[in-house]
Structure 1
Amino acid sequence: MDYLFAIDNKIIIQRDEMAFIHSAGDAATSWNIPGQAGASSVFLLIDGAQYPGIWRILQYRFRRLPWVSLADADCASESGPVLLHATSDQTMTLAWFLEHTKGLHCLSWIESSLGLTAMRDHLRSLARITAEDGVSYDMRFYDTRILPAWYQMLDAHQEVHALGPINSWTYLDRDSLPCTLFGHSQAHAPAGQTLQLSATQERSLLEATLPDIVLEYLEQNGNADLAAMPPAQRYAFIADQVKKASSQYGIVSIQEIALFCSLALGIGCNFDKLLPVAQVLQKFTGAAARSAGGYAALQNA
């Protein structure tokens, strides 16, 4: 099961004023930004796992559109990310994909002077990361709920490396508003290198992914109380309960946190104050810090 990342939709990612939110009407034209001289191409990055129909679309509707898979040649699959080079009719192409991926979190678009092959190689190099303990992972930044967390996690040197040849990188947030990460507009991609995560970076990313991990777990297991809740309210509710379960009671298991959230959905957000429940929850208090296993914003390579 693919677990995904998201942050509270009230948060705007900022680093040295390089990220901002547009109005919704700017979505299909957001690469036409003053001060971004030298931009010559727009690339659409699509998560094939969320939008498996992309392969048939490329074969029939956009068969002349240049594209490549970001998956390595020896492990390419129809669930891998796809990079499209919108060389002409950029606004119309992007508008079509925005319309047909509505409600998903699979589409972002990049403005850069790189060619298709160079951009593919650069993004491939960013997708492979190594944790402090030496374990390698694939970073799913092509899911737009992971993208802002990945960006926020980067240190200054890593940010320059990652966004060096990129003019702008735009995605839709949880409210379907386009957000742009500004790069450095370098003419050439840096030499490929595997990004090294510190323990602090890894912990920050993994903690940020937990609400969506639990939310998707509950959705895929058909939680009726969650289904009855308006979609716009689900993430905030689950995020609050996840924080309470993990920080207040030290619950570490995904399944147990999901059970905690299920009880909150069925009984009420303060169900943990009921005496019988409070007595059971005491056994979790003071538990060890959450381990890194089981989070798939990072996937084992």
Structure 2
Amino acid sequence: MSEDIFGLLHWSDCCIERRHYAYLLIDGALNEGQHRRLQVMGIRFTSLFEGTAEEHLPDVAPWLIELTGLALPQRQRLIQWASVLARKLPCLSWYESSGAIDDFARHLRHFHCVGLSDHQTMLMRWYDTRILPVWMEVLTGPQRALFTRGMQSVACVDADGAVRDLYASPTGQASGAAGVPDMPMLMLDDRQFALLLEARALDTLIHEIGLRAPGRWHRIAQARKLDFVARHRDAALCAGVKDSERQLYYVLLAVFTSGKAAQHPAVMALMQAPPEALPDFIDAIRQLPGEVFLTGEPLWMTEPIEDEAGGMA
């Protein structure tokens, strides 16, 4: 097996050439006790729980590690070890930043908690890579600019073991403590909170749809897929369809008709009293009038698609 399956060694070399720092962030909650391996390897890490109520739990903290300060053999060994973890669990993300490790860690700690609309606060595990892609999508423009301050790029290995490039800015806004509000730094509205709360469920739905749809589904912008799947899953929930299996078949019907089938009287009648057993629900969809399946084109036929270079086809 390759020692650098995600290209992190080359990436960190490029960061050094650009005179930036390269950081790995490992979610310790999914790798409890593994920080001792870092200590054995002689690799310094910084806990993002420092200065928080969870400071006494370094073994389950997110561990920030600077790659660019390591000798090449140490870097190779760390990358190999972290890559093995990432293939098993959604725990690894990486960041190019102009900020030194203490400043960068201080910046990231500001997002340990978020504010909610009911004046409550919630610990936000944004570094769990089932959540991180959704986190980057649901933040407003100003919120995303605040989070990515001092960053030139953000990427991760997602829950399916695939590399996801989540943010890129060649310059990046300078980091610094000036003008930083007290925690929580971000206030999430109800829609943002719901999407993050359901991040794993939505991610699973998108993945399952991808197994049943042509390759062009995967090239629809992630933000568009997230919004579309979330809206139709919400409709299924409102109809009392609370299990993921029946939700999948309802959302698939929407995906293959760009949402038009959901407005057909036969589908609306079905969702007024959806069968509770999965086989019965699937059978009811199959018995819908043929015109239902012709109400609209598949979503990938009606949406702009990203080409391989990241532009729009």
Change (3 A) 1:266 1:44: same
Which structure shows the higher helix fraction? 2
The structural deviation recorded for 1:101 is: 3.2
2:190 aligns to what?
199
Contact 1:241–1:260, Cα closer than 8 Å, also in 2: no
2:25 to 33, 45, 70: 45
**Partner residue of 2:113?**
128
Q: TM-score by structure 2 length?
A: 0.59
> Alpha-carbon deviations, 1:240-280, whole Å to 9, x = none?
99987752352569xx53686799997487156599xxxxx
CA contact (8 A) 2:134 2:199 kept: yes
On the 8 A contact 1:67/1:84 being kept in 2, the answer is: yes
CA contact (8 A) 2:117 2:190 kept: yes
Does 1:189 pair with 2:169?
no
Moved more, 24-33 or 162-171: 24-33
1:172 deviation in Å? 1.4
> 1:244–1:49: structure 2 CA closer, same or farther, 3 Å change rule?
same
Using the TM superposition, give the Cα deviation of residue 46 of structure 1 relative to its aligned residue in structure 2, in angstroms: 0.9
Distance 2:16 2:9 in 1: 18
Q: 1:250 aligns with which of 233, 238, 246?
A: 238
Alpha carbons of structure 1 residues 31 and 251: separation in structure 2 relative to 1, 3 Å: farther
CA contact (8 A) 1:67 1:116 kept: no
2:154 to 169, 172, 192: 169
Task: Give TM-score, length-normalised by structure 1.
Answer: 0.61
| Post-superposition offset of 1:117 | 1.6
Between the aligned partners of 1:269 and 1:211, the Cα distance in structure 2 is 20
Deviations 1:49-69, CA, capped at 9 Å, x for gaps: 111132221232x2x212121
- CA–CA distance in 1 between the matches of 2:8 and 2:133? 17
CA distance in 2, matches of 1:241, 1:97: 32
Aligned-CA RMSD value: 3.9
Q: Is the 8 A contact 1:70 1:83 kept in 2?
A: yes
Considering Cα pairs closer than 8 Å and 6+ residues apart, tell me whether 1 or 2 has the greater RCO: 1
Q: Aligned in 2, Cα 1:135/1:83: closer, same or farther, shift over 3 Å?
A: same
Change (3 A) 1:96 1:197: same
- Counterpart code for 1:29: H
1:41-120 aligned at under 5 Å gives the runs 41-60=21-40, 62=41, 64-73=42-51, 74-76=53-55, 77=57, 78-86=59-67, 87-88=69-70, 89=72, 90-120=75-105
**Count of residues in Structure 1 that have an aligned counterpart in Structure 2:** 229
- Structure 1 unmatched ranges of 5 or more: 1-23, 216-231, 276-301
Q: Which secondary structure does the structure 1 equivalent of 2:88 belong to?
A: coil
How many angstroms apart in 2 are the aligned matches of 1:260 and 1:174?
Answer: 22
Tell me, yes or no, if the aligned pair for 1:166 and 1:186 is still in contact at 8 Å.
Answer: yes
Compared CA separation, residues 265 and 110, structure 1 to 2 (3 A): farther
